[in-house]
Amino acid sequence: MDAEMADLVIEEAREKMAHAIDHVRTEFAGVRSGRASSALVENLTVDYYGSPTPLKQLAGFSIPEPRLLVVSPFDKGAMHAIEKAIRDSDLGLNPSSDGQVIRLAFPALTEERRREFVKVVRGRAEEGRVAVRAVRRHARQELDTMEKDGLPKDETERLEKVLDKMTHDEVTRIDELLEHKEQELLEV
């Protein structure tokens, strides 16, 4: 029984770490790299007839060129609200509309802006590492409690080694994601 509970603790930690990695990936996708990406705007909140609604529920996206994102609203009446949400965001994009679709031209990033974005992604990567370590700390506390309640010490030590390896692997994955995103940002 105790061993099953301990395995559940490890499995739960694995799932939570995977969620932390997914969150880091999502955060990285929202950082501009000079290329057009729907991930930058799809979660913008649009005031749709008085109700805050994510843009991805109001429009489709296409990328006909590397630096051009086309937003196609499902309801043409929402065009003005979508343009306003994009203009008011901190993305620095100026939407242009022809009444049917909204075009977002992504200007090339300056060297200074690229460096700022690298700092942003490094901060988000660190938040991810901290989240993974917090999961490890919580799982360790649960294992310590189980040891006090009768789980053999050698089993606890084995599970802690598994937990440490899992943590190390996930932190390494975050570092790899960070390295990839930095290269993408610094690519001219």
Give yes or no: residues 15 and 43 share one domain: no
Task: For residues 86 and 92, give the distance between their C-alpha atoms in angstroms, rounded to a whole number.
Answer: 9
Structure-token pair, residue 111: 């060297």
Where does residue 184 rank: exposed (0-12), middle (13-18), buried (19+ CB within 10 A)? Answer: middle
Residue 65: CATH number of its domain: 3.30.1360.40
pLDDT at 139 over 90: yes
Rg of the chain over Cα atoms, rounded to whole angstroms, equals 22
Give yes or no: residues 180 and 114 share one domain: yes
Give yes or no: residues 152 and 179 share one domain: yes
Q: Write down which residue in 72, 87, 105 finishes a domain.
A: 105
Give yes or no: residues 20 and 68 share one domain: no
Domain span at residue 71 reads: 38-105
pLDDT band at 126 (very low <50, low <70, confident <90, very high): very high
Give yes or no: residues 116 and 23 share one domain: yes
What pLDDT shows up at residue 34? 66
pTM to 2 decimal places: 0.70
Task: For residues 55 and 129, give the distance between their C-alpha atoms in angstroms, rounded to a whole number.
Answer: 30
Query: For all residues of the chain together, what is the average pLDDT?
Result: 88
Using DSSP bridges, classify how beta strands 59-65 and 45-48 pair: parallel, antiparallel or unpaired: unpaired
Mean pLDDT calculated for residue range 6-12 = 91
Q: Write down which residue in 60, 82, 105 finishes a domain.
A: 105
User: Can you say whether the dihedral through the CA atoms of 48, 52, 56, 61 is positive or negative?
Assistant: positive
pLDDT band at 30 (very low <50, low <70, confident <90, very high): confident
Give yes or no: residues 117 and 181 share one domain: yes
Task: For residues 150 and 20, give the distance between their C-alpha atoms in angstroms, rounded to a whole number.
Answer: 31
What pLDDT shows up at residue 188? 61
Give yes or no: residues 24 and 47 share one domain: no
pLDDT band at 115 (very low <50, low <70, confident <90, very high): confident
pLDDT at 23 over 60: yes
Task: For residues 72 and 58, give the distance between their C-alpha atoms in angstroms, rounded to a whole number.
Answer: 9
Residue 150: CATH number of its domain: 1.10.132.20
Cβ neighbours, 10 Å, residue 45: 13
Mean pLDDT calculated for residue range 86-91 = 80
Give yes or no: residues 26 and 43 share one domain: no
Task: For residues 97 and 71, give the distance between their C-alpha atoms in angstroms, rounded to a whole number.
Answer: 9
Per the structure, how many domains does the chain have? Answer: 2
Task: For residues 98 and 76, give the distance between their C-alpha atoms in angstroms, rounded to a whole number.
Answer: 11
**Residue holding tokens 């196609």?**
72
Query: Which of 89-93, 111-115, 124-128 has the least mean pLDDT?
Result: 89-93
CB 47 within 8 A of CB 81: yes
pLDDT at 128 over 90: yes
What pLDDT shows up at residue 129? 96
Q: Write down which residue in 50, 75, 105 finishes a domain.
A: 105
